[in-house]
Amino acid sequence: MMNNIQKVSDFFMCSNCGACKAICPKDAINFKKSTIGRMYATVNESCIECGLCIKVCPSLDKTLYKTFPDRYIGNINNIYIGKSTDKQIFNNAQSGGICTALLKFLFKAKKIEAAIVCKMLSGNPPIVTPFVITDINQLYECQKSCYTPVDILSVIKDTAKFKSIALVGLPCHIQGAIKLEEIIKKYSNIKYKIGLICDRTLCETIQNVMIRFCANGTAKINWRKKNVRKGNYYYPYKTAPIVVSYDKGTEYVLPNIYRLSLKEMFTAPRCRVCYDKLNTFADIVVGDPWGMSNVDWEKGDSVIITRTTTGQKLIEDLKNSNFITLNNANIEELLKGQHIIERKMSVSIWSKTLTTLSNPIDSYLFKQQDIEFIPFSQTQKTQKELLQFIEREKLSKEDIVLQAQKHVKKSIYLTNIRRWMPINILRKIKSIINK
């Protein structure tokens, strides 16, 4: 039996974190993308079957997921709602700009020499890539979430020369970094782990779909751009649209239904069984404050979770240095707004569904049963969705894009019909009266 990471990719369980590539002594691991844009690790003939890639893979981990009594929540010190006081950072941010403010403070206070982040480059479609920054001025071009897969830990080798770095990553990236630290001493230079709340990443071909709705040419995609006006219509932070910006200066504004209607189609199976939406192994976690009180839904705010002593001290230092504003928030609103109960249900159902794959790998991902009863109808539904994903991945990229375009148009049509239903008209009238 192969003693490398290939088996993880063969069963759709690669999270493309990049840890395996970082630890491989023979540079035998690279990342590829399927036609739908699912990223996965591949192993070439240089492999010596040393098994190091297996030891750092978050999908094969047998210890991290047992760390906390409730692995969906983890340890929480405090929860806040906040935003950056730096106008340039805040106005350019997807939400409150807290992540960038954290990095700016760390650089300015000389607590780090570099940071690992992701960055979007212009392309057709855009290119999402891991990036090592060493200067405050590089921060601004790395703002906002990229939403599509990126093997961030692949560049960690480039940071070995630094004594102290920060890592900004999704849950799988943070988990992979922890496993790397356990095995390779040089990676103990990651002094700050800044986690992002992650519902899922979307397979990369969704970018081709967005470009197709706009114009041909090299562009960047801002998946949630706040404070946007198109004609007489204003988009606040709460309903921030997609903005596709071309190198020649042309911008196209697409309502967020273009993304939301395609989330299920472009979600890879690995994301379906991820319990770690709230990034439980980070020092500080930042995300959108959905379902929470006292939020600036027009200009934007961030929810902040401190998990470690390091994270708590850092957030207090930022507040005391007037880098950010903070207000206390509560855990009940956080868990409800992030749909954690629903996630336990979904992960349990998908975990059971994925065992229908022939000869699945020995992974905790297939053994997550966090609810007592799983309705048979739900299992049938997810089995159908899994087969649809597998079959869709066999199509050409062009056929996938055409399918997605039709799906978006259908969703817009149905939404417009629902908007004019009598009950929705009455609700609109009532909201106007109450104002």
Q: Is residue 423's pLDDT more than 70?
A: no
Measure Cα distances from 396 to 19, 133, 180, 345 in Å.
29, 36, 36, 33
Confidence class for position 417, pLDDT limits 50, 70, 90: confident
Residue 271 has pLDDT above 70, yes or no: yes
pLDDT, average across residues 330-353: 96
Q: What pLDDT sits at residue 434? A: 59
Q: So what's the pLDDT on residue 372?
A: 82
| C-beta atoms surrounding 175 within 10 Å | 28
Taking 60 as the threshold, does the pLDDT of residue 215 lie above it? yes
The average pLDDT across 265-287 equals 97
DSSP state, residue 65? G
User: Considering the chain, what percentage of its residues have pLDDT values greater than 90?
Assistant: 84
Got the DSSP string for 328-359?
A: E--HHHHHHHTTHHHHHHHHHHHHHHHTTSSS
Nearest CA to 128 out of 59, 24, 236, 204 is that of: 204
Q: Is 302 helix (H, G, I), strand (E, B) or coil?
A: strand
pTM over 0.75: yes
- Host H or E run for residue 136: none
**pLDDT level of residue 223 (50, 70, 90 thresholds):** very high
The pLDDT of residue 279 is 98
**Whole-number Å distance between alpha carbons of 167 and 152:** 9
Least confident of 195-199, 224-228, 427-431: 427-431
Residue pair 81/294 in contact (Cβ under 8 Å)? The answer is yes
* More confident position, 252 or 141: 252
Residues near 31 by beta carbon (within 8 Å), at least 6 away in sequence? 16, 18, 21, 39, 40, 41, 42, 151, 154
pLDDT of residue 430: 57
